[in-house]
C-alpha cells in the first residue's frame, strides 16, 4: 500500500480551507452519503464528550480532512459499519484509561510509537499535530485534546479498514 504523503495531506487541507460555505456543505453531504455511520459516530462523540463549539469545529474539520484524503487516495473505499465503529470505539477508549495513568513522558513515547506503526502514519501524525498545536485562544481546552486525538485515531483506523484488500 502506497502511503499518503504529507504533501497530499497539506494540499487537501488547503483545498478544504478555501471552500465556500456552499462547497463545504456539498462535501459534508457527500460524507454523510458515503460514510453515514462515521457521521453519526462523530456527532455522538461531540455530544458524549461535551465538546464546545471550537472543539467541535476542530474535530469535524480534521474528520473531513481524514476522509477527504483517504477517499482521494483510495477511491474504492467501502462504507464503515456501526458494528465496526462500536468494536473499535470500545477497544481504544478502554485502552485510553490505562494510557491516562501513565506518566506524561511514557504517554509521549507510547503515542509516538502508535503513529510510527500505523498504516497511514503521516496522516495520523498530521491530525494529532494539528490538534495538539491548537493554541488555547482558539477555545480548544487542553483536557479535550486527548479525546479528540483518540477519536480521530479511531476514525482513521476505521477508514483504513474500509480500504478494499486489492487496494492495499
Has residue 1 been placed in a domain?
A: no
Do 53 and 61 meet the contact criterion of CB atoms below 8 Å apart?
Answer: no
The CB density around residue 168, as the number of other CB atoms within 10 Å, is 10
Residue 167: predicted pLDDT:
46
11 domain-assigned: yes
- For residue range 107-134, what is the model confidence (pLDDT) as tens digits? 555 555 565 556 788 999 999 999 999 9
Cα gap 128→133, rounded to integer Å: 8
Q: Structurally, how many domains does the chain consist of?
A: 1
User: Is 160:67 a contact under the CB 8 Å cutoff?
Assistant: no
Q: Which residues of the chain have pLDDT under 50?
A: 167-168
Q: What are the helix (H) ranges across the chain?
A: 6-17, 21-34, 36-49, 53-73, 82-100, 104-117, 121-132, 142-161
Residue 69 lies in a domain: yes
Structural domain range at position 138:
6-167
State the Cα–Cα distance between residues 93 and 99, nearest whole angstrom.
10
User: How far is Cα 14 from Cα 152, in angstroms, rounded to an integer?
Assistant: 19
pLDDT of residue 99: 58
Q: What is the reported pLDDT for 40?
A: 93
Tell me, yes or no, whether 160 lies in a domain. Answer: yes
- The values of phi and psi at residue 57, to 5°, are -65, -45
For residue 125, tell me if it sits in a domain: yes
pLDDT at residue 92, as a whole number: 66
Residue 32 lies in a domain: yes
pLDDT of residue 112: 56
Amino acid at each position: 500500500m502506497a502511503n499518503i504523503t504529507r504533501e497530499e495531506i497539506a494540499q487537501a487541507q488547503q483545498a478544504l480551507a478555501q471552500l465556500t460555505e456552499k462547497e463545504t456543505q456539498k462535501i459534508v453531504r457527500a460524507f454523510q452519503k458515503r460514510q453515514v455511520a462515521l457521521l453519526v459516530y462523530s456527532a455522538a462523540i461531540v455530544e458524549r464528550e461535551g465538546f464546545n463549539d471550537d472543539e467541535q469545529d476542530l474535530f469535524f474539520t480534521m474528520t473531513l480532512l481524514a476522509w477527504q484524503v483517504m477517499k482521494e487516495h483510495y477511491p474504492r473505499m467501502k462504507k464503515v459499519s456501526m458494528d465496526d465503529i462500536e468494536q473499535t470505539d470500545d477497544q481504544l477508549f478502554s485502552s485510553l484509561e490505562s494510557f491516562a495513568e501513565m506518566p506524561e513522558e511514557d504517554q509521549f513515547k507510547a503515542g509516538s510509537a502508535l503513529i510510527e506503526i500505523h498504516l497511514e502514519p503521516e496522516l495520523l501524525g498530521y491530525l494529532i499535530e494539528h490538534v495538539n498545536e491548537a493554541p488555547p485562544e482558539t477555545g480548544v481546552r487542553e483536557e479535550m485534546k486527548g479525546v479528540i486525538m483518540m477519536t480521530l485515531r479511531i476514525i482513521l483506523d476505521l477508514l483504513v479498514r474500509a480500504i478494499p484488500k486489492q487496494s492495499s
